[in-house]
Amino acid sequence: MSFIDHLEALRWHIIRSAIAIVVFTTAAFLAKDFLFHDLILGPSRGDFWTYRAFCKFGQWVHAEGLCIGEPTFDLQNRQMSGQLTMHISSSFVVGLALAFPYTFWEIWRFIKPGLYPHEQANSRGAVFFVSVLFIIGLLFGYFIAAPLSINFLASYQLDSTIENQIDLQSYISTLTTMSLSCAGVFELPMIVFFLAKAGIVTPEIMRLYRKHAIVVILVIAAVITPPDISAQIIVTIPIVLLYELSINIARVVTRNRTKMLNDRLAENGGVS
């Protein structure tokens, strides 16, 4: 294919991805009651699933401190077109998240023909695992990281005379940032997989710099969570587990890569 043909193919992949995003965005926009009352404003109420689950778990292990109280803050809109703007922007973010698996599939369809046959075979299932990790990270961010952050920040007071009246834009920004950040962080195993395929990352390197990686993970957890130790620990644990999983992935990839190179050397040397 010529350069122009590649651009033409890329254009249609982009158009189909944009159509998927528009479709999901429109569906989210039309489902306003569910989008805001149940989905976006859910973590702002005491009956949210996460708060009830923590309370039940706290009662089960006889640790009443795990029971999270109802957030004490009022949401306010201070701009004339604020609610309409947030309705449109929130619908777009939800549409983008829902369309991510299809969008990544379209991108992969454009990249895949340019790979060698063995590279295509080695990357089989990439779309599935990238999509699954994205969804798991998004759910973790929405149900765990975001509610803990919102509850902590909403209940934090410098003085009892100061009321927390949170701007709607600030609340939604915190919710989306936490959810999407976790979705991105959970892609670590796939990133390591492709880096190991390229020979850039090895399990030995990852083990050698494990302590440094844990420090970086703690910094990341501190950035995407409020200054609450419990929230940071809850976010840090799955990221550390993902790092350990990535080490095993790099080990398997490196072993297979070494075997393939040895087989090629044997073939070139005339060894059966």
Check residue 60 and give its pLDDT: 83
**pLDDT band at 122, cuts 50/70/90?**
confident
Whether residue 192 contacts residue 206, with contact meaning beta carbons closer than 8 Å, is answered with yes
φ, ψ of residue 206 to 5 degrees: the values are -70, -35
pLDDT at 272 over 60: no
Region for 70 from its dihedrals, namely left if φ exceeds 0, alpha if ψ lies in -120 to 50, beta otherwise: beta
pLDDT digits (tens, 9 = 90+) for 225-265: 766 677 788 888 899 999 999 999 999 888 887 777 777 77
Task: Dihedral sign for Cα 145, 147, 149, 150, please.
Answer: positive
Q: 3-class SS at 74? A: strand
205-209 long-range contacts, CB within 8 A, separation 24+: 206/243, 206/246, 206/247, 206/250, 207/247
φ, ψ of residue 63 to 5 degrees: the values are -130, 85
pLDDT digits (tens, 9 = 90+) for 35-77: 999 999 999 888 888 888 888 888 887 777 667 767 778 899 9
Location of structure tokens 């350990």: 244
Buried b / exposed e along 72-83 (16+ C-beta atoms within 10 A) = ebebeeeeeeee
